[in-house]
Amino acid sequence: MQLRPACFFALLVLFTHVAVAATPPGSGDLPPSALGRDANDHDVRVEDMHGKVVVVTFWASWCGYCLKELPILANIQKLAGADNLQVVAISYKEDHDNFRKIYRTLRKSNLVLTYDTKSTISSAYGVTGIPHMVMIGRDGRIAYVHVGYDESMLDTIANELNTLLAAPVPANTHAP
């Protein structure tokens, strides 16, 4: 079988598109906009928080480390202030009922809790397992990504957050 040049080109474009789409965003990239829907069923988007440091963490009720991490992130957010830091905790591959149970426990934390039952957001961020954390700088670009971390990374994560929080707020606080 011999491929015509047009067929070969079409296949090349298709495979290149799939390879590019599968590449997770990393440091310096603009993050995917959508961060899910909150408990009030409102869309949560990265650009709505431009000018703040944004921590996006993916969690599930069956991830013990994730459940320990969420109150810690809530305390860090409280210390940094709502004008400086926003934590968005995205429920990963969890049904809506489990999300609601955890939400009731954490609703006073001031974290933005969203759900991703169809894995569209986690796929866009390249999440294949948890814990998975993406830190977005005040400029709206991804600064750090951590996958499969544990307590041994706390100092590194704290230092990275301090660096991001020390950065000046961009003059243009609209979406990049």
Mean pLDDT per 10-residue interval, the chain, length 176 residues: 46 38 84 91 93 95 88 93 95 83 82 88 94 96 94 92 94 57
Q: How far is 165 from 4, CA to CA, in rounded Å?
A: 55
Task: Supply the pLDDT for residue 175.
Answer: 44
Tell me the pTM. 0.83
Backbone phi and psi for residue 116, each to the nearest 5 degrees, phi listed first: -140, 65
The structural domains of the chain, ordered by start, are 25-166 (3.40.30.10)
